[in-house]
A and B are shown apart, each in its own frame.
Chain A
Amino acid sequence: MVQWPTLYMFLQSMANAISIGSLYALVAIGYTMVYGILRLINFAHGDIFMMSMYFAFYLVAAFALPWYISFPLAILATGIMGIIVERSAYRPLRDAPRISLLISSIGVSYLFQNFAVVVFSGIQKQFPQVPFLQEMVVIGKVRIQVLTFVMPVVTAVFVAALLFLVNKTKVGMAMRASSKDFETSRLMGIDVNRIISVTFAVGSMLAALGAIMWGLKYPKIDPYVGSMPGLKCFIAAVIGGIGNINGAVVGAMLLGFIEIMIVLFLPALSAYKDAFAFVALIAILLFRPTGLLGEKKADKV
């Protein structure tokens, strides 16, 4: 049952796991940021991911822009879309119970999927390719895409920038304050609505960045392409401790390793691959209910 891989297979798998993990991480951070501030599982995050893939596609296909212009534009457009979504679907429910917010996010997710089917049709499209990122680097026998080196770097840079934003800047301070308590923050003169908008914009732009990386690695776009990455990355965020940026990265890397390594060591279980992610999730929730790096919170009585 257990397959003992050769050193080459193991190293190659390590490389694969790192590249998947850093992909998951970018999207997971978006979840975590939104959750951290609104306590909302943004079920529409995967669909924002999907929409940004279409943005990037149409900017290249319809306007014939080179990738280095169209990708940043797509990221920007997604950020604006994030703000619009927040204003129209989440802000009106600010004082409503949390479940209304959650339902609203499911509604937004439905809306985006159905919108994409009507506007872009269900036929798959191919994500624009950037040849030099898809070259292979050969080290010994192990072959690694250039993209695989780029992804962890991009992730690391953005995590560092985010940590700086959250921990060192005024906006970040306001974010942290708002995540603790809206009312008090308001009293302290923080424009909570603006902070939430910023958070959504940043979260959505990270999803867009993740989507572009995803598209370069797995070049299929269809209206449902966001749902599985959305779910997986959400799981990653929960495993790491939702609301915690470092946690999201740790959770995403862990999930990437679990998925790759279990198929490598236990090939007979490849049909159950998706189940592992959930088993890992449940196991971690049971032993550390707030995730690996989550803070333990006492109930207010």
Chain B
Amino acid sequence: MKSNSSNKKMGLSTILTIASLIGIVVLLYMIDQHGFLGSYWTRVLRLSGVYAISALSMNLVNGFTGQFSLGHAGFMAIGAYVTSLLIIPTPNKAIQYYVTPVLDFVGKMHAPFWLALILGGLLAAIAAFFIGFPVLRLKGDYLAIATLGFSEIIRIFITNLIPITNGPMGLKNIPASANIWWTTGICTLTVVFMLRLMDTSYGRAIKAIRDDETAAEAMGISLFRHKMMAFMMGAFFAGVSGGLIASVVGTINPGFFRFTLAYEILLIVVLGGLGSITGSVVGAFVLTISREWLRFLDNGFSILGIIKVPPIAGMRMLFFSVLLMIVILYSRRGLFGSNEFTWAGLFAFPGKWKNKAANLFDSAKQKAGRKK
């Protein structure tokens, strides 16, 4: 009887999943073919998708493996530059290098978008291999600062290798191949990959490392090998997301890939919930969309028609950072904690919320009691 009901539930959630996938595809079709949202909001959605991929890749390293890495900006830069150099039409490339002529090899290379993305990801992964070799022995904050250092070193090299990267002059006319199908598609693929990965023995091993390194090692898990694999996979997806972002924006320069970019992605990951795949995706969409949506604050506004605020540049970001602080302080495990979205969870949501409130109340009472 029991198994029957769980089967039934399983069936229901499969149907719901398929239905919502079809819904997404129809929505994408509407957006792509009928200009359903207009190019501005479509662009915001494309960006959200790309940020979701970077957030997932960071979550793999930081949330699931428990290795605090801040090197993502560097890997994204590698992916972005490799992809861009491969997909910019060759006749167009030479004109852009107006300061120092482009290296012959770089000027001539060309590849289709999908291959360029994969190559960008692979190169980022190779870089991660060489960086990971020394730094993955470090732990916690030390690992964070060392990876941040490497990402800055990558950026400084990109700035100065002018014959290859055009340095600070940046690259432009990057074909806008990454339409909403690409970004959403690759985002979905990444989610599926991550979900699958977490179900394998490898996924369980990295989670064991996160929870307790010493215990994991005692169980015979090779720490270095697993950390390295996670680091390289993370770098691969970061590279892919970098390539996508280059194509969405159409131009890149080294200044974009400063270490602060890693902070921004970290904010997405933490807001969504460290160790939650759903969280990273939702976090990316929520943060990217709300940042755009808040734009009207820059133009001046009035609070209930009483207090008039004149247009001040930066008001939007100020409000955004205040909201962010509130979320950080009051919802410290992020939107999803380390849980995933399930249909059953959705249906149980109202009840769960009640429970949660009751729990909070209890713990508050307990705390109050303890204080006395």
Q: Per the CB under 8 Å rule, do A and B touch in the complex?
A: yes
Chain B residues, CB < 8 A from A274: 152, 156
A23 at the interface (CB under 8 A from B): no
Pairwise interchain contact A103-B270, C-beta atoms closer than 8 A: yes
- Contact code string A34-76 (vs B, CB < 8 Å = 1, else 0): 0000010101000000000000000000000000000000000
Chain A residues, CB < 8 A from B324: 107, 110-111
A262 at the interface (CB under 8 A from B): no
Chain B contact residues: helix, strand, loop or mixed? helix
Distance A274 CA – B148 CA, assembled complex (angstroms): 13
Pairwise interchain contact B313-A107, C-beta atoms closer than 8 A: no
Distance A107 CA – B68 CA, assembled complex (angstroms): 17
Pairwise interchain contact B146-A103, C-beta atoms closer than 8 A: no
Pairwise interchain contact A41-B141, C-beta atoms closer than 8 A: yes
A301 at the interface (CB under 8 A from B): yes
Interchain nearest-CB distance for A243 vs B (Å): 11
Interchain nearest-CB distance for A89 vs B (Å): 7
A271 at the interface (CB under 8 A from B): yes
Distance A89 CA – B141 CA, assembled complex (angstroms): 20
Pairwise interchain contact A282-B313, C-beta atoms closer than 8 A: no
| Interface positions of A from 84 to 115, Cβ below 8 Å from B | 89, 92-93, 96-100, 103-104, 106-108, 110-111, 114-115
Pairwise interchain contact A104-B153, C-beta atoms closer than 8 A: no
- Contact code string B143-156 (vs A, CB < 8 Å = 1, else 0): 01110011011001
Pairwise interchain contact A111-B332, C-beta atoms closer than 8 A: no
Q: Which of these, B145, B150, B270, contacts A238 with CB under 8 Å?
A: B145
Residue of A at shortest CB range from B260? Answer: A227
Chain B residues, CB < 8 A from A98: 140
Q: Count of chain B residues with Cβ under 8 Å from any Cβ of A?
A: 43
Pairwise interchain contact B332-A96, C-beta atoms closer than 8 A: yes
Q: Which of these, A99, A115, A117, contacts B274 with CB under 8 Å?
A: A99
Interface hit among B38-46, B130-138, B346-354: B130-138
- Known A275-B153, A281-B146: A118·B138 in contact at CB below 8 Å: no
Chain A residues, CB < 8 A from B313: 117-118, 121-122
B322 at the interface (CB under 8 A from A): yes
Chain B residues, CB < 8 A from A152: none
Distance A122 CA – B312 CA, assembled complex (angstroms): 11
A255 at the interface (CB under 8 A from B): no
Pairwise interchain contact B150-A282, C-beta atoms closer than 8 A: yes
Chain A residues, CB < 8 A from B328: 100, 103-104, 107
Chain A residues, CB < 8 A from B144: 41
Distance A299 CA – B322 CA, assembled complex (angstroms): 37
B142 at the interface (CB under 8 A from A): yes
B304 at the interface (CB under 8 A from A): no
Distance A301 CA – B324 CA, assembled complex (angstroms): 36
- Contact code string A238-249 (vs B, CB < 8 Å = 1, else 0): 100010000000
A289 at the interface (CB under 8 A from B): yes
Interchain nearest-CB distance for A225 vs B (Å): 15
Chain B residues, CB < 8 A from A299: 213-214
Interchain nearest-CB distance for A81 vs B (Å): 15
Count chain A CB atoms within 10 A of each CB in B149, B214, B274, B325 and give the residue with the most. B149
Pairwise interchain contact B68-A99, C-beta atoms closer than 8 A: yes
A279 at the interface (CB under 8 A from B): yes
Residue of A at shortest CB range from B327? Answer: A107
| Interface positions of B from 280 to 336, Cβ below 8 Å from A | 312-315, 317-318, 320-322, 324-325, 328-329, 332
| Given pairs A41-B144, A278-B149, 19 additional interface contacts (CB within 8 A) | A39-B141, A99-B68, A100-B332, A104-B328, A106-B267, A107-B321, A107-B328, A114-B318, A117-B313, A118-B312, A231-B259, A234-B145, A235-B145, A238-B142, A271-B156, A275-B152, A278-B150, A281-B149, A282-B146
Chain B interface residues toward A at CB < 8 A: 62, 68, 134-135, 137-138, 140-142, 144-146, 149-150, 152-153, 156-157, 159-160, 213-214, 259-260, 263, 266-267, 270, 274, 312-315, 317-318, 320-322, 324-325, 328-329, 332
Chain A interface residues toward B at CB < 8 A: 39, 41, 43, 89, 92-93, 96-100, 103-104, 106-108, 110-111, 114-115, 117-118, 121-122, 227, 231, 234-235, 238, 242, 271-272, 274-275, 278-279, 281-282, 285-286, 289-290, 299, 301
A/B interface sample: 23 pairs, CB < 8 A: A100-B270, A103-B328, A106-B267, A107-B324, A107-B325, A111-B324, A111-B325, A114-B314, A114-B317, A115-B318, A115-B321, A117-B314, A118-B312, A118-B315, A118-B318, A122-B313, A227-B260, A274-B156, A279-B153, A282-B149, A282-B150, A286-B134, A301-B214
